[in-house]
Structure 1
């Protein structure tokens, strides 16, 4: 059984819309676990009133993304999950999303799968996976490189985000859960999928399965939209900081081939130090 794990903290409207999109799926042989990390906007009452079929795990407001996902995965495993899908609450899945994810999961039962992301406002694709050249810290955007006629099926990638990320039980049994100690929020999803690939599991972006996202609502975008010295500090050192130097270092030490590590680290530090002001 597939269990979809969704960590939430406030943003009730997004959570409701996400769950309604999951309720409208063409394939319904899955269950949902919401990890409510101390929301104060009535999320708990809404879930109890409108989504009685959803299992809820409570947090105290200090889980952040990684520990929240891990708490949901642990609960799902006790309920007999053999596949886990992590999902953020600020996504809308198209009606055949689960069907198209499980179609390929059943053909490649040990593969880790992500999905093609669309802009919720325009319906246009905005993210379809990356291939990273560790030697030069160059990211090859599959959407930019794939001809439109080839934008279907599975495409191998270096790592995947946690929005609609399908993980077979075999992967969890081999590499464990997400690294909540060293990567409490950002990069935990990229790290997990990269580690899975290093352990021999195929990692694909599934271009047949689509979900819509709100790109302007990410924490990184909001921080950059209101630039300040405080925002710059949070960008580099805060738990939710998209350029967090400690997180980047941990990710690099775990995943980068040793011979490329010195350049990759120096290049990455430079990008984070100046990138806040360039985007």
Structure 2
């Protein structure tokens, strides 16, 4: 048993939109925790699979906030944080979870113990792909000169934490309420979905808060539930438009331009604006060429 104090209240935020089966697995993990001083807040952004009703029946102590389907990730977190800040003390914690993650029974306890080493640290969770067993996230590293994102290699250095990170994802991250009050809330009007977590924790780092990841606080994520669109899946003009401009797409040009404006060091901004637009142009050329080749194949086949 880990040593810990349950003087801290942990507010757990879980945005959802359908996928009730995954949500129930996550909630089950929470209710099996050795750390019991927590409150679960689910933000249901317009689910159509009776998520709210099922959660109320199975886990009646859960607080459920309702969206209309237009909150997206950052909007749901904004709503949840505003709700929590009305009653949380500075010493308390916020734990943000994806609804598709699972974890062991000492997960929260491990994060709390890790937080004791520093008042100015935000702690992420090592993420494993539940389907492949491979590391999905061991901490983001950003090369702004190339606008390249990678994960920090996991080194067996006898340390329980991973340091030197540029940002964090929200697939299991613990933040002190006092820190949230100083860095502010998410900005859904600028970044409604993708890149909103990266922007938030870059903002925290710029305010001198340390970002680390715990090797012992592990979450298992179901990658098949992601809404990311891949260029290889684009087979038409309409799909190309969605790939470049849909909120559901991780390649959304507008979102990346906004993210660069908010986060990129000044000396790389213009270069990365051009790089983002250039990548969109190249993607368009590739798809147009692909469509033309497919059309030629159809004509040849019909002759």
State whether TM-score is above 0.5: yes
Whole-angstrom distance in 2 between the partners of 1:48 and 1:224:
39
Q: Which runs of 4+ in 1 moved over 4 A?
A: 272-278
2:172 paired residue number? 164
Whole-angstrom distance in 1 between the partners of 2:232 and 2:108:
34
Whole-angstrom distance in 2 between the partners of 1:267 and 1:33:
39
Whole-angstrom distance in 2 between the partners of 1:167 and 1:41:
31
Is residue 260 from structure 1 mapped to residue 268 from structure 2 by the alignment? yes
Whole-angstrom distance in 2 between the partners of 1:89 and 1:273:
35
Give the 5 Å matches for 1:178-193.
178-193=186-201
Is residue 77 from structure 1 mapped to residue 85 from structure 2 by the alignment? yes
2:105 paired residue number? 95
When the two structures are superposed, what TM-score results if normalisation uses the length of structure 1?
0.91
Is residue 107 from structure 1 mapped to residue 117 from structure 2 by the alignment? yes
1:51 paired residue number? 59
SS of structure 2 residue aligned to 1:219: coil
Structure 2: unaligned runs, 5 residues or longer: 1-8, 288-303
2:290 paired residue number? none
Seen in structure 2, the aligned counterparts of structure 1 residues 49 and 140 have a Cα distance that, compared at 3 Å, is closer
1:204-259 CA-to-partner distances (Å, cap 9, x unmatched) read 122221000112321115x5574233232112111111111111111111111111
Residue correspondences, number? 275
When the two chains are superposed, the root-mean-square deviation of aligned CA atoms in Å is 2.1
Among 216, 231, 234, the residue aligned to 1:227: 234
Whole-angstrom distance in 2 between the partners of 1:271 and 1:99:
43
Is residue 10 from structure 1 mapped to residue 18 from structure 2 by the alignment? yes
Whole-angstrom distance in 1 between the partners of 2:232 and 2:63:
36
SS of structure 2 residue aligned to 1:113: strand
When the two structures are superposed, what TM-score results if normalisation uses the length of structure 2?
0.84
Which structure has the bigger radius of gyration? 2
Structure 1: unaligned runs, 5 residues or longer: none
SS of structure 1 residue aligned to 2:116: helix
1:183-222 CA-to-partner distances (Å, cap 9, x unmatched) read 011110000000111111111122221000112321115x
1:216 paired residue number? 224
1:247 paired residue number? 255
SS of structure 2 residue aligned to 1:131: strand
